[in-house]
Structure 1
Amino acid sequence: MVDPIVLAAFVPAALALNFTPGADMMFCLGQGVRSGPHAAWAASAGISLGSMIHVLMAGAGLSALVASVPFAFDVIRWVGVGYLLWLAFHAMRASGRPPRGDPAPRGHAFRAGLLVNLTNPKVILFVLAFVPQFVVPEAGPVWAQFAIFGAIIAGCGFIVNGVVGVFAGSIGPRLARGSRVLDWLTAGIFAALAGRLALLEKA
């Protein structure tokens, strides 16, 4: 369905994409620092699901429609800014670190990672510019090729962002004596991501 030569070119490109520091990686870093490796992996899983949804939407043509409507782009962008600022505010208000092993932080991290990814309109534009370059209509159903490429991007991203979050989580215990340091560090990461998204331009 996907030409092996095309696939061989796509995988390194997908890895390079995921190794490039960005909002997703920083979000997993923040989750790892404050809530530990389990939350980091959960956030990475949510982000990967969001990436897969973006690619499938692109294959269905929905992302192209959103990208062509400036109003829709701005609505998605400001929803993302608001959500990240809410996370930053919540982190600052937190009185302490969530207990390790508690499933609640993992579920929250998964949902947060999914929403952060889905409300980043830059991902929509990137997917529209990146994935179609590797799609060959003569090779089979276009939607199936998008699904395969999306699974590769999501899988690579899950591993890369998860490992970054786990590494960040390893420094968490060193800061555990001052939980406010963790709270403010996490809040700073979320606020920085919100500022980055607020200054984002469509071009």
Structure 2
Amino acid sequence: MPPIEVLVSFTFAALLLNLSPGPSNLYVMARSLAQGPEAGFVAAAGLAAGSLVHVLAASVGLAAVFLYAPVLFTAVKLVGAAYLLYLGVQYLRSQPDLSVGQSAKRSNGRIFRESFLVEATNPKTALFFLALLPQFADASYGPLGPQLLVLGLIVTLSAVPCDIIVALGASRVRRWLAAHPRAPLIQERVSGGILVALAMFIVGEEAVAQWQS
């Protein structure tokens, strides 16, 4: 097991990385804007569960498939973008009941499943673990598999408070929107716009990468 000073420095680095804007916290923001902080917390839990898929894959070396199989990498990336686009379009097409001042709600179970799929189909998460975790693992500390697993769990768990901060911040914006008569419609459109823009960014980034290769 890595010494405590290595684990502390790694945890600090993971917190900084998790606080930087990315698909995960943007999804939490979109869900919190649409339905409030509780939905954001559930989304954060789903994202953490999806991240565990990549942690387990990295700990046994399966994440290397994405590195050495570019076609599979591209396919999974586009599947994730398509799912984000689908969610965004659902928000944009929804017609909330303005008379009650609330947007259409999704169950916590559905939010959890959606956020799990968003993270589990994100190949960048797999590559992130594959690139970062080995830098802090050392055979002199013991078997590499358990080390990679512990380091991956640190990244996943440190992302949860970061996502909660995003959810709470987005909920403040939501309360401001609630003071306006058309708030539910605005919430749905803003949430959908974030997800559609995120999907387009992923597709555009992939197109640029293919053009430069």
Q: Where does residue 81 of structure 1 map in the other structure?
A: 81
Q: Where does residue 150 of structure 1 map in the other structure?
A: 152
CA deviation vs aligned residue, 1:69-90 (integer Å, no higher than 9, x gap): 0110111011111101110111
Structure 1's consecutive aligned runs of 4 or more residues displaced over 4 angstroms after TM superposition are none
Secondary structure in structure 2 of the residue aligned to 1:199? helix
Of residues 107, 110, 119, the one that matches 2:109 is: 107
Q: State the alpha-carbon separation in 2 of the partners of residues 190 and 160 from structure 1.
A: 19
Query: Per-residue deviation at 1:132?
Result: 0.8
Do residues 135 (structure 1) and 162 (structure 2) align? no
The range that moved more, 69-78 or 134-143, is: 134-143
Q: Where does residue 99 of structure 2 map in the other structure?
A: none
Larger radius of gyration: 2
Matches within 5 A, 1:31-180: 31-96=31-96, 97-99=103-105, 104-176=106-178, 177-178=181-182, 179-180=184-185
CA deviation vs aligned residue, 1:119-158 (integer Å, no higher than 9, x gap): 2221122111111100112212222112211221111101
Q: State the alpha-carbon separation in 1 of the partners of residues 174 and 43 from structure 2.
A: 16
Q: Where does residue 198 of structure 2 map in the other structure?
A: 193
CA deviation vs aligned residue, 1:17-62 (integer Å, no higher than 9, x gap): 1111111111111111111111101111111122222122111111
Q: State the alpha-carbon separation in 1 of the partners of residues 161 and 114 from structure 2.
A: 18
Q: CA RMSD in A?
A: 1.6
TM-score normalized by the length of structure 2: 0.87
Query: Per-residue deviation at 1:113?
Result: 1.3
* Aligned-pair identity (%): 33
Q: State the alpha-carbon separation in 2 of the partners of residues 163 and 143 from structure 1.
A: 31
Whether the 8 Å CA contact 2:87–2:192 is kept in 1: the answer is yes
Residue 94 of structure 2 aligns with an amino acid whose one-letter code is A
Query: Per-residue deviation at 1:95?
Result: 2.0
Give ranges in structure 2 of 5+ residues lacking alignment. 97-102
Whether the 8 Å CA contact 2:92–2:193 is kept in 1: the answer is no
Query: Per-residue deviation at 1:173?
Result: 3.0
TM-score normalized by the length of structure 1: 0.91
Secondary structure in structure 1 of the residue aligned to 2:63? helix
Q: State the alpha-carbon separation in 2 of the partners of residues 195 and 175 from structure 1.
A: 26
Query: Per-residue deviation at 1:112?
Result: 1.4
How many pairs does the alignment contain? 199
Q: State the alpha-carbon separation in 2 of the partners of residues 41 and 142 from structure 1.
A: 32
Do residues 183 (structure 1) and 188 (structure 2) align? yes
CA deviation vs aligned residue, 1:165-194 (integer Å, no higher than 9, x gap): 122022213323311111110110001110
Query: Per-residue deviation at 1:2?
Result: 2.3
Residue 92 of structure 2 aligns with an amino acid whose one-letter code is M
Give ranges in structure 1 of 5+ residues lacking alignment. none
